[in-house]
């Protein structure tokens, strides 16, 4: 049988060693603080746009853009976005029968510049690299180029041409960052824009619209799925 003093000393050494090992172990947290508060980003996506009741406005297209963002406070950030939407529109000749007005499709490019306030669900931290958010804001949308070839071919009166003009554009976004390293992140988001489209004056005459059914203007929506990459600093 071991000597009692030797047994007691051995037990104390074992407990001390075990306690030291346990104290040195830590449980890794799924949350990680985002050190950098600013970022530059580029993005691309697909857009589905409502052309309005008369079918005159921009329709589906591709988008490209860039963004500068800065975080402030514990959960908020400001996004400054510039987006180029490469879209198409139906060219309709209102002087022809209603079932034979479509002349074809032409290109119409839009530029959207807006500011968005972003609320990060997990604050200035990520959870397993994921940082979901909701953002909303507004800015301006305008047509950077519009192909008028079909209108000119049929000598359509200018007051019947559709023009997008410059419009206020509201935005609502749901998405998430995916932090792949300390400075690089990916961002997937679903974006909804709202803007107003105007009906050409030539579509509102008594001869064309004797019952006054054609809207003078209407709010329409555009839905986009966007993927981007950011460099944080």
- Model confidence pLDDT, tens digit, residues 221-231: 999 999 999 99
By the 8 A CB rule, do 185 and 173 touch?
no
Pseudo-torsion of CA 222, 103, 108, 45, nearest 10°? 50
Give residue 22's pLDDT.
Answer: 45
Give residue 88's pLDDT.
Answer: 96
Query: By C-alpha distance, which of 229, 231, 228, 124 is closest to 183?
Result: 231
Q: Which residues pair with 219 in a beta bridge?
A: 196
List CB contacts of 191: < 8 A, sequence separation 6 or more. Answer: 45, 171, 172, 173, 223, 224, 225, 226
Helices (H) and strands (E) in the chain, counts: 2, 10
Backbone region of residue 75 per phi and psi (left: phi > 0; alpha: psi in -120 to 50; beta: other values) = alpha
By DSSP bridging, strand 125-127 and strand 102-120 are unpaired
DSSP at 187: E
Backbone region of residue 171 per phi and psi (left: phi > 0; alpha: psi in -120 to 50; beta: other values) = beta
Q: How far apart are the first and last CA of the chain?
A: 67
DSSP 137-173: EEEEEEEEEE--HHHHHTT--GGGS----EEEEEEEE
CA angle 30, 34, 40 (to 5 degrees): 135
By the 8 A CB rule, do 115 and 135 touch?
no
Domains of the chain with CATH codes: 32-232 (2.40.160.20)
| The pLDDT of residue 7 is above 70 | no
Using pLDDT thresholds of 50, 70 and 90, give the confidence band for residue 23. very low
Backbone region of residue 123 per phi and psi (left: phi > 0; alpha: psi in -120 to 50; beta: other values) = left
Q: Could you tell me what percent of the chain has a pLDDT over 70?
A: 89
Residue 193 has φ and ψ, to the nearest 5°, of -110, 145
Q: Using one digit for the tens of pLDDT, what is the confidence trace for 40-51?
A: 999 999 999 999
Compute CA distances 38 → 85, 123, 130, 189, whole Å.
25, 15, 17, 19
Mean pLDDT of 79-102: 95
Mean pLDDT of 123-141: 95
pTM over 0.85: no
């Amino acid at each position: 049988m071991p000597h009692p003093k030797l047994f007691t000393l051995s037990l104390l050494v074992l407990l001390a060693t075990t306690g030291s090992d346990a104290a040195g172990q830590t449980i890794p947290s799924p949350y990680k603080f985002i050190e950098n508060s600013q970022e530059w980003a580029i993005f691309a996506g697909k857009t589905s746009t409502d052309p309005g009741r008369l079918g005159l406005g921009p329709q589906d297209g591709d988008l490209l853009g860039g963004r500068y963002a800065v975080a402030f406070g514990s959960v908020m950030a400001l996004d400054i976005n510039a987006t180029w939407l490469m879209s198409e529109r139906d060219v309709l000749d209102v002087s022809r029968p209603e079932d034979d007005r479509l002349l074809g499709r032409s290109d119409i490019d839009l530029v959207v510049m807006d500011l968005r306030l972003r609320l990060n669900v997990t604050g200035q931290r990520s959870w397993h690299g994921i940082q979901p958010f909701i953002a909303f804001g507004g800015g301006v949308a305008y047509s950077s180029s519009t192909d008028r070839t079909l209108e000119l071919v049929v000598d359509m009166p200018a007051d019947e041409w559709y023009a997008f003009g410059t419009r206020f554009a509201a935005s609502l976004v749901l998405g998430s960052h995916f932090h792949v390293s300390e400075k690089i992140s990916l961002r997937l988001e679903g974006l909804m824009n709202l803007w107003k489209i105007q009906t050409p004056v030539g579509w509102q005459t008594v001869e064309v619209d004797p019952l006054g059914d054609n809207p003078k203007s209407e709010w329409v929506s555009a839905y986009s799925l966007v993927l981007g990459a950011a460099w944080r600093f």
